[in-house]
A and B are shown apart, each in its own frame.
Chain A
């Protein structure tokens, strides 16, 4: 068993930071929170209703960035984002989102030619160009340089300021303002 007796609530305007050593079950917890995996015991509730009953409605609100980007290597940046938008509710234009993450000029580049850090920024662009209230981010800062981490954090703060929720794991010390951050520490 990875963890038990976990009981917490996250409200709009908050960032939940899940911490713990390698193998303590951070990713498993996140996958449970996305509904991809069901917990052995217990229940996940979104806005007062169990997620197992909501399913489709829940996914209107949830965006997940896992270890894998979920993008097609052979499609261009723009084609990938268009596909992501077709399956969700689009907010920002693609060009605008790319501008925000500093990937302007890469619209037609197949993803296979992007560096690991650029792919991460593209994942952020995906978050920005679709309307989702809850962001679930698994190690979002991996392979990002310092400036990009700061940029990512700024967008997290902005998302939370608009009433959004962010649940994330990170090994890096985050520069997020302490008053919006809640922490859960998993023991190994």
Chain B
């Protein structure tokens, strides 16, 4: 198969998933609403101490982003598995790993990008300084695709199970730890006026490793779930 038809296949998977999401616009809001709500719970719980809130805000936003991404993750292969289109995707002349990457891309556009767009607003709510906000945004930009890519492996493993939800969380959350550590490290460093390039380079490396390496185990796990 030529590279041309492969990129055509990639794009049509992305387009199809975006179109399907558009037909279910209401469901798109759910993870976003969850994200905003979890973040707004914290000032209510810990009190309105501005200094404290400013200190914990990046961590709060990041943990909420992890949970929101986990929440939307479960659906990534579910409907394709249930209506048989996953079987047809396996049975194409194209490598399944490329089609998986297309599905994860669509998922990130639908779940990661909205988080990216609202988080500056939440950051302002927590009175974070503007240059720290920009670092927070960069970490989210680099980190949320990694969450989708890693999460996809675990979803592919659990898609055949009827109740994979909790198992999914247990499988995935430990794998999110490195992203969380470097992201919050970067934001903390920015808040104390220290250079952040080290952490950001690490996160970029994680992103590129995840893009190149995770589609294979995901594709293999999907094939296992189907057989």
Contact = CB atoms under 8 A, between A and B. Distances in A.
A135 to B, nearest CB: 12
A87 B19 contact: no
B20 A87 contact: no
Interface residues of A, number: 30
Given A36-B90, A56-B1, A86 B8 contact: yes
B94 A36 contact: no
A87 B84 contact: no
Interface of B: 1, 8-9, 12, 16, 19-20, 23-24, 79, 82-85, 87-95, 99, 223, 226-227
24 contacts: A31-B227, A36-B87, A36-B223, A36-B226, A36-B227, A37-B226, A37-B227, A38-B227, A56-B93, A56-B94, A57-B93, A59-B92, A60-B93, A62-B91, A64-B87, A68-B82, A71-B84, A74-B20, A75-B16, A75-B20, A75-B23, A84-B88, A87-B88, A88-B92
Contacts of A35: 91
Contacts of B99: 87
B18 to A, nearest CB: 12
Interface of A: 31, 34-38, 56-57, 59-60, 62-64, 66-75, 79, 82-84, 86-88
Contacts of B79: 72
Given A73-B83, A87-B12, A34 B20 contact: no
Interface centre among B8, B79, B85, B89 (most CB of A within 10 A): B85
Given A34-B91, A79-B19, 5 more contacts: A56-B94, A62-B91, A69-B83, A70-B83, A87-B99
